[in-house]
Copies of this chain bind each other. A is one copy, B any other.
Amino acid sequence: MIRAGIIGGSGYTGGELLRLLLAHPQVEVAQVTSRSHLGEYVYQVHPNLRKQTQLKFIDPEQVTPVDVLFLALPHGQAQHKIDHYASLAERIVDLSADFRLRSPEAYRRWYGSEHAAPAWLGRFVYGLPELHRVELRSARYVSGVGCNATASNLALLPLVQAGLLDESAQVVIEIKVGSSESGAEGNPGSHHPERSGVIRTFSAFGHRHTAEVIQEMGLHNVLLTMTSVDLVRGALATVHATLKPGVALKDLWKAYRAAASENPFLRVVREQRGIYRVPEPKILAGSNYADLGFDLDEASRHVVSICAIDNLMKGASGSAVQCMNLMLGLDETLGLEFPGLHPI
């Protein structure tokens, strides 16, 4: 059995990691930390884990060496202790934003401060298996992924990999997200009477996840617009882009089918009847699938590409476990079999 540790286990991504790793057939969760819930049973914070484990949260200082260490801290913390963490485990998956960008300049531009451990940026592999499967198999340090970046990148992946995009044209990505995206800590805007029923375009431009789309897709003219809606788990990216001249619907079918065929967690959803004709995040709660859809206005070469994910799974902890599987030479899908619920 592989011994895993989790630094920062009381947040939503930490809780989701716990759920996945406790059920993983090849992993034993050795330690999980939380300063604010020190000494509590993990099921007191994550009530779904009651009767699943008797683990308690320990202090981060008490962590002893493990085979793989997951860092699920708030952004900006892991970079200050990465040497220490690297002394505790041969393999690290950091779910925060600290090691997602390859260049210190990009980090400074999007996060507004100097990176505290710029030498480490080059040692990390960006943790999206659909983009870096081969490197991940031999990686020791893997970054997490931004959930909105992941929905965007996976919506773009079939178009970019098949070379169908007119890359000179602007790409506008409209992202709709649920309330779990902002984490387990409340704020005035997340108070239920204020957050319930919202359609709140909280960021028209400049969302930090834009940097991950630029880096991973090699696109430069990209805008992300973020809108909160009434849902707990889930994100939907609707990409508006322009195709090269001459690209037809059948070319899109081919590109999307190839993506779904090469990646166990990608699916194409484009039905002519029934209720579920397009990708929808609601049925993905708890699942690691990313559902892809598309439509084309041939006259204007305007393509709409859609990706639905569970932001806590494919957009965070699910991809992290998938990366761990790859690093450890295990079946990529191990422990990630839950298909989601219908209805929900």
Chain A residues at the B interface, C-beta cutoff of 8 Å: 12, 15, 19, 23, 40, 44-52, 170, 172, 174, 176, 178-180, 184-202, 204-206, 221, 223, 225, 227, 229-234, 236, 238, 240, 260, 267, 269, 271, 273-283, 285-287, 289, 291, 293, 295, 297, 300, 302, 304, 306, 308, 337-344
Contact = CB atoms under 8 A, between A and B. Distances in A.
17 contacts: A12-B193, A40-B274, A45-B274, A49-B339, A50-B291, A184-B193, A184-B343, A197-B232, A197-B282, A199-B282, A200-B280, A201-B293, A204-B238, A229-B229, A229-B230, A285-B285, A286-B344
Contact of A197 (B49, B201, B204, B230): B230
A317 B187 CA distance: 26
A283 B285 CA distance: 12
Contact of A341 (B178, B190, B286, B289): B286
B184 A191 contact: yes
Contacts of A230: 196-197, 229-231
Contact of A295 (B179, B190, B205, B289): B205
Contacts of A195: 192
A255 to B, nearest CB: 17
B343 A193 contact: yes
Contacts of A23: 337, 339
B238 A201 contact: yes
A233 B278 contact: no
Contacts of A184: 191, 193, 343
A341 B199 contact: no
A192 B275 CA distance: 12
A32 to B, nearest CB: 15
Contact of A285 (B15, B223, B269, B344): B344
B204 A342 contact: no
Contacts of A337: 23
A187 to B, nearest CB: 8
Given A186-B191, A227-B176, A229-B199, A48 B339 contact: yes
Contacts of A206: 297
A190 to B, nearest CB: 5
A344 B233 contact: yes
A282 B339 contact: no
Contact of A232 (B188, B278, B295, B343): B343
